[in-house]
Amino acid sequence: MEISEAKTPEPIPTRPSTVHRAVGVSVSVALLLGGHLLAFKASYSEAPLDLNLHSNETESTSLAPNANASGRCKLLPGVPDVTLLMAPSLNTTESRHIYDIFLKNTKQRISASVNDVLDVDTVHQGRFLYPDSSRQSQGVFATVISWHGQADRLLNDFWYLPPRGANDLQSCHLELREPVLLFRGWTFPSFQYGHLLHDLLPMLVWMASRYPKTKLIVVLDEEEKIRRFLQWFNMDLFHRAIFIPEETTVCAETIHAVVPKMASCNHPISLRILQPNKHLRQQIAKFLPTYPANRVVYQTRLGTAHHGRLVSESHSKEIVNVTKEVLQRHGFPEEIMIFTGKFNGETASFQDQYRIFNSAFLVLGPHGTGLSNILWMRCDIPVAVIEFFCSVHALHVRGCKRQGQVRQGSVWSHTGGCAWAKYFLVPVKDVKDVDGSSSEMSDFMLVDLEALSMALSQALLHVAGRKQWPWLTSIS
């Protein structure tokens, strides 16, 4: 199935606007689950948000940055709602219980502030290196570090390690006289676009705003894709970055080391929180262009991903047909762009992916790296996302099971609640539920098409600005 060729949109010319500062944000989550409404509420204070990444228009990014509709990001307050819709056959007590746990745990994590989970320790005459991530298939987060003086809380089993042997950190490959900020992010043997957007970029931009005169240390992957990404994303941030290959000893006079405040914050997932993600989306809107939101993007995985959760070509056609039928019913154009990671026959560039997703008012697709591009969707108008979500009925789908239990990963969770979009989850199920095949694992899955139709209707009504949908029948 090929990408439908759509005309590349031109950016919308607009004027710059004032940076907004948010304080005392209310956090709430409401869930429509088979006709049952579950609600959670909390509150916290948010620090002033302001990052001056004003790109030079003559040299900045290949997207010719302009002041667009941003600064006016209409971010949803608190932890935005997420709605799970299920057909009666999947709406079981077990399904609701598992999802209830997922939602409660996610809400508790993403509502934390940066000050709740992180601190910064300053050390002098320090040395550090990034261990080789190729030795760890699940990626690494640690940095080997030493310094003069005492700051023992820096050392822990996950973030910062003492020298691994007598030869570690003995010879300086690079000496830095200016202060540097040290935050590794979640590093994998190869460049991981999704983890860059979820686990590095929000904190990198957040810390850049807090330390405006400090250089930022960034791990350099073998293909140097992180360098190219930041050069595209924002030249000011790019010029502040110092790219360090793994196993390179750096000696610095002053190191501001980002550290976890508690043991529960040791894992990178604990940093996927609302505050820096909202901040990141606000900043993106200031220096990247805005395009007319005139399309639906179906992001799919047609046998190219290595983690399962694939959608067959025949089932993708069913998904597209259901989507077209609902679009027609609501009076929307039936154009659907099918995105598989390629554009015009080539691997989509960072710029291509930004343009495609920034020009979408609705994105749907399975959980995975490709769906991470919802970060680029517009934040000044109503937009919506529908994610195909692993359920207890998908335990034979590779990528939906971990340690014998359903793995309920969601980009809604990864983006700290995706405060710029109305979010829907639609469950998937085993292929064997239909064809009666064996209990062996499969790379492929089936989407609950009945729930998808309902999610599409609610998403389109949100996009159209309508508040009620009396003709919809809730699933019981």
Residue 163's pLDDT is what? Answer: 87
Give me the phi and psi of 322, to 5 degrees please: -60, -40
Return d(Cα 288, Cα 65) in angstroms, integer. 5
Q: What is the pLDDT along the chain (476 residues), one digit of tens a residue?
A: 333 444 445 665 443 332 222 222 232 323 333 333 232 222 222 333 233 333 332 222 222 233 344 458 988 888 888 999 999 988 899 989 989 999 999 999 999 999 999 889 888 999 999 988 876 656 677 888 887 655 555 776 678 888 888 888 989 999 999 999 999 888 777 889 999 999 999 999 999 999 999 999 999 998 999 999 999 999 999 999 999 999 999 999 999 999 888 777 777 788 899 999 999 999 999 999 999 999 999 998 765 556 667 888 899 999 999 999 999 999 998 889 999 988 888 999 999 999 999 999 999 999 888 999 999 999 999 999 999 998 888 778 887 877 677 788 899 999 999 999 999 999 999 887 544 555 677 888 899 999 999 999 999 999 998 444 333 333 32
Return d(Cα 379, Cα 158) in angstroms, integer. 35
> Which residues fall within 8 angstroms of residue 165, CB to CB, at 6 or more apart?
none
What does the block give as tokens for 162?
A: 């003492």
Q: Which is nearest to 277 in space by CA: 71, 49, 120, 116?
A: 49
Residue 32's pLDDT is what? Answer: 33
Q: Is 453 helix (H, G, I), strand (E, B) or coil?
A: helix
Q: Count CB neighbours of 21 within 10 A.
A: 10
Domain boundaries, the chain: 1-113+274-476, 117-272
Return d(Cα 139, Cα 208) in angstroms, integer. 24
Return d(Cα 84, Cα 390) in angstroms, integer. 11
Strand partners of residue 140:
187
Per the listing, tokens 């359920």 go with 391
How far is C-alpha 45 from the geometric centre of its chain's CA atoms? 23
Residue 245's pLDDT is what? Answer: 93
Torsion on CA atoms 427, 431, 437, 441, rounded to nearest 10: -80
Q: Is 221 helix (H, G, I), strand (E, B) or coil?
A: coil
> Which residues fall within 8 angstroms of residue 357, CB to CB, at 6 or more apart?
297, 363, 373, 374, 375, 376, 377
Q: Which residues of 328-360 are buried (b: 16+ CB within 10 A; e: fewer)?
A: eeeebeeebbbbbbebeeeebebebbbbbbbbb
Strand partners of residue 216:
181, 241
Residue 82's pLDDT is what? Answer: 92
Q: Is 40 helix (H, G, I), strand (E, B) or coil?
A: strand
Q: Is 391 helix (H, G, I), strand (E, B) or coil?
A: coil
Residue 309's pLDDT is what? Answer: 76
Residue 179's pLDDT is what? Answer: 96
Return d(Cα 223, Cα 241) in angstroms, integer. 17
Please work out, in degrees rounded to the nearest 5, the angle formed at the alpha carbon of residue 425 by the alpha carbons of 102 and 187.
65
